[in-house]
Amino acid sequence: MKTEKSGISRADLVSGLECINGWYYYRRMVDGKRRRKSLRTKTLSIAVKKVVEMNEKVFDKDIPLGVVLSDGKINFESAGDAYINNCYLRKSSLSRYQTTFRNILKGLEEISGYSDIKLKQVTRALIEDYAKYRRTCEVSPNGHKNSRKQIGVSEKTLSMEISLVKAILKYSVTRQWLGYQPDLDGISHFKRKRGQPSSKARPLTEEETRKVLSEARKYDESRAGFYAYDNFISSLLMTYIYSGLRRKELVYLEWSDISFGDNLLRVRSKRIINTRTILLSDEAVVYFRKLLRVKKGKVLFVAGTAETKKAAKLLKLRSLKMMLAIRREWFDFDSKCLLLTEMFEWKPKASEGEVPLHPVLKERLQSLYERSNSNFVFPAPDGGYMTHKFERAFKKITAAAGIKENIRVHDLRHTTGTMLRRAGVPVESIMHVLRHANVEESLIYSHFTQDEAQRAINKFPKL
């Protein structure tokens, strides 16, 4: 037997099935990695039927994983949607990818005259025509419809669009929807110069930094009792500025990473043990007592069920992964709490290293250590690592400090590098403090002011 649309035999489907503890799963490959999809059945015939039904959705946007199709049978739009939906993206990044892809589809439809472009039709010649069209078409800057129109997109925008096309085609080749990947290199002329900072980078001046820290202390006073410490946000921003850490490095920073005796803060790969204490309401205690009497096995919750959704609402948990990991021994009904424990491996984004502690930062961290009851330096109120986004608080603080530009939290890291350079610290030392992979990344702080140039030339010996 073969499915009508995918051409997969029944034997091939059975070979893709896997039985674990009596339950059937469908094996598939995603970006070269093995994945499993639960079929929620213990009967082989039902499992095969479900896989066949999945394969018959080939021409919808929901393309099944692990299905091999003849070259070019899937259209470019479906392949692009499948690639974006299988990327692990934040909500903002997902929205940006989707908008960029819709612009690409609109442009390809405009120059080709086809509303349904197949994968095999996406050639270098087509993308070169697309690049010419994007350089000459009328666009709205940053997507604002009411703003003044301009002719052509920037080379940076065009480079991003072509990179997305290349990623979709590469993904299609790995999924065997396409036999080859056309060469699209050199179509866009955009290339960031060595040592050129991002256009979004906006380091603070010394005066602005003082104002931000002052407003952060006022913000802490207005939000007393909301965070783990009374001076939580001001301490967080101070650590950002005096250490130059990245966001995730600060979120996962533990007291074991800090050596007050050696005046060092270590950034390293490690196993994170995240323990949270969730208080249970009277309603939650009654519900979970009843649930544990009914449930006999270790697994309490299954994705998509009504009881899982109700339990998540009672616990105020948004992480499905944490919900499915809950075990009965984690409940303490006498204390009316649930002790959640999570373990995972974490690796820094760039190189590992040690950051010297500034005396001001050391004094602040020591005061926090005396009051802390968590293994994390900046924990959530329940004792686990910080989960809330503090960007909104940072925007309020910068606005109160009189800064009108859009300042990102990551710009505090740029502030660290800029202040070190203004203090005369060599670029090589900045590279080690900020743990850049190479000195080229540190060159964005190498620009001189006129005063620095004058002081430098004055050091030249008289001949």
pLDDT of residue 242: 92
Q: What is the 3-state secondary structure (H, E, C) of the chain?
A: CECCCCCCEHHHHHHCEEEECCEEEEEEEECCEEEEEECCCCCHHHHHHHHHHHHCCCCCCCCCCCCCCCCCCCEHHHHHHHHHHCCCCCHHHHHHHHHHHHHHHHHHHHHHCCCCCEHHHCCHHHHHHHHHHHHHCEECHHHCCCCCCEECCCHHHHHHHHHHHHHHHHHHHHCCCCCCCCCCCCCCCCCCCCCCCCCCCCCCCHHHHHHHHHHHHHHHHHCCCCCCCCCHHHHHHHHHHHHCCCHHHHHCCEHHHEECCCCEEEECCEEEEEEEEEECCHHHHHHHHHHHHHCCCCCCCCCCCHHHHHHHHHHCCCCHHHHHHCCHHHEECCCCEEEEEEEEEECCCCCCEEEECCHHHHHHHHHHHHHCCCCECCECCCCCECCCCCHHHHHHHHHHCCCCCCCCCCHHHHHHHHHHHHCCCCHHHHHHHHCCCCHHHHHHHCCCCHHHHHHHHHCCCCC
Between the alpha carbon of residue 238 and those of residues 229, 233, 234, 409, the distances in Å are 14, 8, 6, 12
Q: What is the pLDDT of residue 360?
A: 92
Which residue has 């082989």 as its token pair?
44
Which pLDDT does position 60 carry in this prediction? 36
Two tokens, residue 50: 């479900």
| pLDDT, position 1 | 40
Q: What is the pLDDT of residue 239?
A: 92
- At 218 the pLDDT is 92
Tokens of 217: 């202390």
Angle at 219 between CA 216 and CA 220, to 5 degrees: 90
CATH number of 1-68: 3.30.160
- The confidence score (pLDDT) of residue 441 equals 72
Distances (CA, A) of 226 to 90, 223, 389: 26, 6, 13
At residue 9, the pLDDT reads 42
**CB half-sphere exposure, 6, CA atoms < 13 A:** 25
Q: pLDDT tens string for the chain (463 positions)?
A: 434 333 444 444 444 677 777 788 877 655 445 567 788 888 877 877 777 666 544 333 344 444 444 444 678 888 888 888 777 666 677 888 888 898 898 888 888 887 788 888 888 888 888 888 888 888 776 555 556 677 888 888 888 888 899 989 888 887 777 877 888 877 776 665 544 555 567 888 899 999 999 999 999 888 887 887 888 889 999 999 999 898 889 999 999 999 999 999 999 999 888 888 888 889 989 988 888 888 877 778 877 788 888 888 888 877 777 788 888 888 888 888 888 888 888 888 777 888 899 999 999 999 999 988 888 999 988 888 887 778 888 889 999 999 888 888 888 988 888 888 888 888 888 888 888 877 777 777 766 566 666 776 777 777 6
204-269+349-463: CATH topology is: hpI Integrase; Chain A (1.10.443)
Residue 55 and residue 37 in contact, taking contact as beta carbons nearer than 8 Å? no
Single pTM value for the model:
0.58
Where along the chain do its domains lie?
A: 1-68, 76-174, 204-269+349-463, 279-346
Q: Which residues contact 112 (CB under 8 A, 6 or more apart)?
A: 121, 126
The string of pLDDT tens digits covering residues 279-295 is: 888 998 998 888 888 88
Distance CA 447, CA 77 (A): 45
Contacts of 441 (CB under 8 A, 6+ apart): 431, 434
